[in-house]
Amino acid sequence: MTRILSAFKILKRVGFAVLLLSANSYSHAQPPDTLWTISIGGPMFDEAFCSMATSHGGVLVAGQGDLDPPYTGLGALCLKISSQGELVWHADYREWGFRSIRSIAHAQNQDIIMTGESFGTSQLAVLRADSNGQVIWYREYQIGLGGSGASIVESSDGTLAAITRGTCCAGNSLALVKISESGDSLWTRTYGGNDFELGGSIDVTPEGGFLIVGSLGTESLDLDSWILRLDSDGNVVWDQHFGSDNNEWITDGFLSPDGSTVISGYLEETSPEHLFFPYVARVDSIGDTVWTQVYRGGGEARLTGIAQSLTGLLTVCGFTSSFGAGGADFYLGGISEDGSFDWFTSFGTAANEYCMSMCYDVSGNAILAGYGFSELPETDIFVVKTEPTLVAAPIIPKPETRIALVSCYPNPFNNYTRISIFLDAATHASVQITDILGRQVFARPNELLLGGYHDFMFDGRGLCSGTYFCHVLSNQGIVSTQMVLVR
């Protein structure tokens, strides 16, 4: 039977001194308090490696485990947890041959897409499910050594794109696989091949291309930060790697609204001691380094994820054994514009807890997911939800939110087009599409959207060829763009 431990046990937050600031009024940057913590597990190894917020304040977490009797063995596992920390449903994909989920993302029609590792050798596994976790299709793609999935996104044309994790073996290549909506392989591109290539995460660019972050190393390992910007066909636009004499293990990254790329991971020092420290970096839109930061002030920690909060604060997650409740604990930190740490904190118990992923819900609450040891050697899925994170900045009147309709791609389009909206701050907005006579043919309800890029797929299969208009409506007015449907 699924076990839910310590019903919403509230963990003690590590205290930090608040600096006295000048006479100007400030909102203090400080660690957020915990709203709830939940642990879910069976009698085996249940672990979460990735997470994704739902539209109603809940979260999907995915990884591996076995929650149902007779507990026949580990397999890919996905769980939906409500905004109050209650288990809504869980789905086990072991019978499909899916061993472990490493990345989860939204797709059109409220579908869920996942990638990870199959039970087969060197196979990239991808599964598409509906909003209740029921399988639509499952596919495996033969890649070669290091071919299990690391990250997946839906591309601007409704197809999927997944990258491999790679291995620390010379001659290994990082692979990008483009997949149709029905799961057919469209093409595969590889990058590198002479050194060590390790995939971290993939993001979609406004032009319909891709951004890949990871680590690139030589035969002596010596891993560097690695960022690839690609066009929609997987061709390299630019390729940058940078680092130090130590190893930079890059685990996550994303494309910022200003066009820059932010990455996170950890720096491995081997001399005079073997230590791991939080590492973050930012490059501009053409790949030039803006800053890199290694933070040693809080002791050892390994970062596994990075995200941007509702208030625009960069936050990182991971795990640390340098402070906290004991053993390894979940780690959460806030980062300033120059990459320095504003604050950091931990969540955990006297046992070991490892945070592998984070996301933000529509209210700006951070949700951290991973796993912890309940009884050795057993592990349980461990999820923490915090209050909204704050950003240290002078309190000044907030400018009006700017809404810019970035693109409809492709345009003209046949059947489907992806509509991309950019917001420079959080606001409530709705979307309407009308024909040339002003008749509404599609409406997306008013909802709170965070600052940054928002994409959704428009299905025009039921419409006639012609000119249409997409309108984004908010309290600040209406922004519109023209769309052309061609049969």
Render pLDDT for 301-356 as a digit per residue (tens, 0 to 9): 999 999 987 677 889 999 998 888 778 999 999 998 888 888 889 999 888 999 99
Q: Where are the alpha helices (DSSP H) in 194-350?
A: none
Given a contact cutoff of 8 angstroms between Cβ atoms, the answer to whether 95 and 76 are in contact is no
How far from 105 is each of 101, 180, 468, CA to CA, in Å?
11, 15, 29
Q: State the pLDDT at residue 20.
A: 24
Residue 344 CA to residue 342 CA, distance in Å, equals: 7
- Structure-block tokens of residue 322: 């340098």
Q: State the span(s) of the chain assigned CATH 2.60.40.10.
A: 403-485
Q: State the pLDDT at residue 336.
A: 86
Residue 13: pLDDT above 60?
A: no
Residue 216 CA to residue 158 CA, distance in Å, equals: 30
In which residue are the tokens 């984070």 written?
358
| Fold (CATH) for 25-394 | Methylamine Dehydrogenase; Chain H (2.130.10)
Percent of all residues in the chain with a pLDDT value above 90, rounded to a whole number? 46
pLDDT digits (tens, 9 = 90+) for 48-89: 999 998 877 899 999 999 998 888 888 999 999 999 999 999
Q: State the pLDDT at residue 219.
A: 61
Given a contact cutoff of 8 angstroms between Cβ atoms, the answer to whether 77 and 46 are in contact is yes
Residue 394: pLDDT above 60?
A: no
Neighbouring CB atoms inside 10 A of 142's CB total 13
Partners of 314 in the β-ladder:
308, 335
Given a contact cutoff of 8 angstroms between Cβ atoms, the answer to whether 328 and 348 are in contact is yes
Length in residues, the chain: 487
Is the pTM higher than 0.75?
Answer: yes
* Among the listed residues 289, 215, 284, the one whose alpha carbon sits nearest the alpha carbon of residue 251: 215
DSSP 8-state assignment for residue 15: P
Q: State the span(s) of the chain assigned CATH 2.130.10.10.
A: 25-394
* Among the listed residues 113, 306, 324, the one whose alpha carbon sits nearest the alpha carbon of residue 225: 306
Residue 220: pLDDT above 90?
A: no
- Structure-block tokens of residue 481: 């763009």
Residue 91 CA to residue 86 CA, distance in Å, equals: 15
pLDDT digits (tens, 9 = 90+) for 356-391: 999 988 788 899 999 998 677 789 999 999 998 765
- Structure-block tokens of residue 104: 């989860």
Given a contact cutoff of 8 angstroms between Cβ atoms, the answer to whether 468 and 434 are in contact is yes
Residue 199 CA to residue 454 CA, distance in Å, equals: 24
Q: Mean pLDDT over all residues of the chain?
A: 83
Q: Which residue has the higher pLDDT, 397 or 20?
A: 397
* Among the listed residues 331, 313, 314, the one whose alpha carbon sits nearest the alpha carbon of residue 322: 331
Q: Which residue has the higher pLDDT, 438 or 174?
A: 174
Q: State the pLDDT at residue 273.
A: 85
Q: State the pLDDT at residue 14.
A: 26
| Fold (CATH) for 403-485 | Immunoglobulin-like (2.60.40)
Q: State the pLDDT at residue 222.
A: 81
Mean pLDDT of 446-475: 81
Residue 420: pLDDT above 90?
A: no
Partners of 459 in the β-ladder:
416
The DSSP line for 245-295 is SSEEEEEEEEE-TTS-EEEEEEEEE-SSS-EEEEEEEEE-TTS-EEEEEE-
Percent of all residues in the chain with a pLDDT value above 70, rounded to a whole number? 85
Residue 166 CA to residue 299 CA, distance in Å, equals: 29
Q: Which residue has the higher pLDDT, 230 or 323?
A: 230
Given a contact cutoff of 8 angstroms between Cβ atoms, the answer to whether 282 and 290 are in contact is yes
Q: State the pLDDT at residue 313.
A: 82
pLDDT digits (tens, 9 = 90+) for 247-274: 999 999 998 878 899 999 999 988 788 9
SS3 109: helix
Q: State the pLDDT at residue 400.
A: 52
Exposure string over 17-45, b if 16+ CB within 10 A, otherwise e:
eeeeeeeeeeeebbbbebbbbbbbbbebb
Q: State the pLDDT at residue 10.
A: 24
Partners of 6 in the β-ladder:
none
Residue 15: pLDDT above 70?
A: no
Residue 234 CA to residue 206 CA, distance in Å, equals: 14
**Three-class secondary structure assignment of 93-108:** CHHHCEEEEEEEEECH
Q: State the pLDDT at residue 404.
A: 58
Q: State the pLDDT at residue 487.
A: 73
Exposure string over 182-203, b if 16+ CB within 10 A, otherwise e:
ebeeeebbbbbeebbbbbbbbb
- Structure-block tokens of residue 386: 């915090």
HSE-up (13 A, CA, CB side) for residue 106: 15
Split at pLDDT 50, 70, 90, the class of 413 is confident
Split at pLDDT 50, 70, 90, the class of 28 is very low
Residue 405: pLDDT above 70?
A: no
Q: Terminus-to-terminus CA distance in the chain, angstroms?
A: 53
Residue 185 CA to residue 140 CA, distance in Å, equals: 10
Neighbouring CB atoms inside 10 A of 413's CB total 18
pLDDT digits (tens, 9 = 90+) for 136-192: 999 999 886 667 899 999 987 889 999 998 765 555 688 999 999 999 999 999 998
Q: Which residue has the higher pLDDT, 487 or 458?
A: 458
Phi first, then psi: what are they for 93, rounded to 5°?
-110, 20
Q: State the pLDDT at residue 357.
A: 97
